[in-house]
Amino acid sequence: MPAFLARALQALVGRFRPGESRFFISQRQAGVTVNEDTALGLGEWWACINVIARTVASLPWGVYQRTEAGREPLDTQLAWLLNNRPNGEMSAFSFREALVAHALNWGNGYAEIAWDLAGRPAALWLLAPDRVQPERNPDTGALQYRVTGGDGKTTVLASEDVLHVHGLGFDGITGYSVARMAARSIGLGIGQDSFAQAFYGNGTQFGNVIEMPGQMSPDQVALAEAYYNDKHQGPDKAFKVRVAPAGTKVHPLGMPMTDAQFIESRGLTITMAARWLGVPPHKIADLTRSTNNNIEHQGIEFVTDAIVPWCQRLEQEVNFKLVGARAQGRVYTKLAVNGLMRGDSKSRAEFYRTMTQIGAMTINEVRALEDLNGIGEDGDEHLVQLNQTTLERLIEGTPQAGAPAAPAMGDNAPEQDAEDQQDKQDEQRPNAAIRTAALAFVRGGRTS
């Protein structure tokens, strides 16, 4: 490539701002206009976005602080914003649902962060994605966001004042508009909807060619066409009787619906929409490939493949933007997805039984996962097999409840050889080092 052409191409690429697509896909596909607004009119597209957005919005969003024992929940202003009321006009569910839907459809979801006098986040205000343009500060090169208001005036917000959630993108800063990237697939679906609407609106009849006897002037042809269209088009006119002049012949147009495989192609658009947004088809009421044997596993795949990635994006953006600099790494947020993967009651019971028997979970932890109150301090003990004793008693060698007590040694009891007694104790007492290692493993590396 000539040097001057390479420099011109480099200059052209350098003109792109963050958020501008490197690809051009026409909005006119399959005879219809496709954009972020019209795409939502396609049932399968709406269903895919809706099921992901509402699922993420329904998850509890905890705020935690790392401790030596693991973590402890924090009841802070940030927790209130994330789970109750991000601003004075919408609930946390509505805010999160709209934010994720914007990111799914437009590729980017934005919210302005309002701060209080102490530098803490006080409110989160949703921003329309079509009114926000990421750009670079011409003097410093720092990322900033230009927001256009309803009155046409623009406001520039610093990056730290904008909560920005996005999907796959070219530069890692902004995401592609999924609706525009999928314009061909969406256009096909909208075109099929339009065709079906016209087909049933015309009484399930295709157009006809009317062969009239004799010669007709252009005005007579136009008059005849208007007459037949007025008298025959529409579902309410499909079964009426019409009288035609002698010698008139009707030649139907089009092909049978079975030859066009209309029903099969309608199912294809459902699969294509699900593929673009990473949703299993059964989540949008397409049970073609779902059975009673695999539906639970497909539900788990929906969580791991569609929900968890968006949870990660939300968590990482909030942890960076809404957690103070001094608390970075110590305070963090986490969306709880465990409830979505619990399975049926039989599977949960088997899981809980195994986890409590090996000492990995306590009774209170199991009851908390089932939204039940704890049973008190006794429910916080880790139990293992061997008559459900605690690990502390096992290590200390304390006799278990119900075990026969050792005979009391009175003044007249025969003395035993010290070495034999030590050997007997070593035989009866399990290796303390192994027990201590087991306790450390169960407690996540923390020894007693």
Q: What is the DSSP secondary-structure string of 279-324?
A: --GGGGT--TT--TTTHHHHHHHHIIIIIHHHHHHHHHHHHHHTS-
Give the structural domain span for 47: 15-206+254-341
Residues 297 and 436 in one domain: no
Please list the residues that pair with 135 across neighbouring strands. Answer: 144
- How high is the pLDDT of residue 239? 54
Where among 289, 312, 341 does a domain terminate? 341
Residues 298 and 348 in one domain: no
- How high is the pLDDT of residue 11? 43
How far, in Å, are 176, 318, 337, 406, 413 from residue 171 at the CA level? Answer: 10, 20, 29, 74, 84
Q: How far is CA 128 from the centre of its chain?
A: 20
How far, in Å, are 121, 325, 328, 364 from residue 117 at the CA level? Answer: 10, 16, 20, 40
Closest CA to 30 of 213, 254, 162, 189: 189
Where among 293, 308, 341 does a domain terminate? 341
- How high is the pLDDT of residue 142? 92
Please check whether residue 318 lies inside any domain of the structure. Answer: yes
Closest CA to 335 of 106, 77, 55: 55
**Cα-flanking dihedrals φ and ψ of residue 232, to 5°?**
-115, -25
Q: How many residues does the chain have?
A: 448
Please check whether residue 116 lies inside any domain of the structure. Answer: yes
How far, in Å, are 38, 288, 386 from residue 45 at the CA level? Answer: 10, 18, 55
Where among 341, 362, 388 does a domain terminate? 341
Please check whether residue 23 lies inside any domain of the structure. Answer: yes
Total domains, the chain:
2
Residues 119 and 168 in one domain: yes
What residues in the chain have per-residue pLDDT under 70? 1-31, 195-209, 231-247, 250-268, 289-294, 339, 341-344, 371, 386-391, 394-448
Residues 331 and 364 in one domain: no
Separation CA 20–CA 223 (nearest Å): 52
- How high is the pLDDT of residue 14? 41
Q: Which two tokens stand for residue 158?
A: 């610093």
Please check whether residue 357 lies inside any domain of the structure. Answer: yes
Residues 335 and 370 in one domain: no
Q: Give 165's contacts (C-beta < 8 A, 6+ positions apart).
A: 99, 100, 103, 108, 109, 110, 310, 313, 314, 317
Measured from the Cβ of residue 257, the count of other Cβ atoms closer than 10 Å reads: 13
Residues 280 and 378 in one domain: no
Separation CA 219–CA 30 (nearest Å): 33
Residue 430, by phi and psi: left (phi above 0), alpha (psi -120 to 50) or beta? beta
Please check whether residue 236 lies inside any domain of the structure. Answer: no
Task: Kindly give the pairing relationship between strand 108-115 and strand 121-127.
Answer: antiparallel
Q: What is the pTM of this model?
A: 0.68
Residues 58 and 90 in one domain: yes
